[in-house]
Each structure stands twice: as structure tokens, then as C-alpha cells.
Amino acid sequence: MAERERMTGSVKKDGVVVISFLATHVGIDTEHQLREELQEYIQDEQRPQALLDLSGVSYVSSGPLGVLTAIERDVSGREGRLVFCSVSAYVLETFRAAGLLRLFTVYETCEEALDSFGQSSGSTVSS
């Protein structure tokens, strides 16, 4: 059986796991794989600090939105932090329409998002 291609990649910067999406289309058919990959990055962290870089993502369907919501709740439940950066206008509107901007913290740039981990608050994209 051939190994499937990863949807994401990660690096650790200043204690923050920066997760970049390699896939541009995050559809319902990728829901299970997305959950596995994101859990892999944060499972061993007592207080996960994670940044999801969506700069290459042009579409997210409802199933993966549920995964992102579950991951955010898992992270915050462990007193960690999950933020998003470089979200396209279309994906941001999807977040807004689903009411997720009340739950998700979204920064315009990844630099701003990474800097926010050293601060108690920062400027975010407004809902």
C-alpha cells in the first residue's frame, strides 16, 4: 500500500509549533487525515502553542472546519493556544459565515501571529 502524501508540515519556532498546509484544498475527504496530522503535532505538548499557517489554502469545507474547532478546543482545554495566520479572503469568509471568528484567533501575517505568543494580546482580524 502506498503511503499517502502529507497535508501539512511543521517547524518549531521559539516554542511554538508552526504548522503549514501543503494542500491548497482542504475538503471533506481529508477530514480524518487532517485530524491525525494536527493531533500528531500537539499530542505530546502539555500546553500546546500552535500556529496554523493557511497561506496556501484556498478552500476549506465543513468537515475540516469541525476538525479545526475540535483541535482548538483540545488545545485551549490544556491551557494552550492555537492561532491562524495568512488566511485567504475566501477561507476567512468561510470562518465568519460558520461563526468561528468568535472561537478562532486569526492574524493577517504569520509574523504577527508568532509575535502574539510573547504577548498577552495582539491585533487580530476582526469579525
CA 10 → CA 1, 38, 98, distances in Å?
25, 10, 27
Nearest to 79 by CA among 47, 115, 50: 47
pLDDT truncated to tens, each residue of the chain (127 aa)? Answer: 456 789 999 999 999 999 999 999 999 999 999 999 999 999 999 999 999 999 999 999 999 999 999 999 999 999 999 999 999 999 999 999 999 999 999 999 999 999 999 864 443 444 4
Grid coordinates belonging to 54: 493557511
Phi, psi of 80 (to 5 degrees): -100, -165
Q: Are 114 and 51 spatial neighbours (Cβ–Cβ below 8 Å)? A: yes
List, in order of start, the domains of the chain with CATH numbers. 8-116 (3.30.750.24)
What is the pTM for the complete model shown? 0.88
CB 64 within 8 A of CB 27: yes
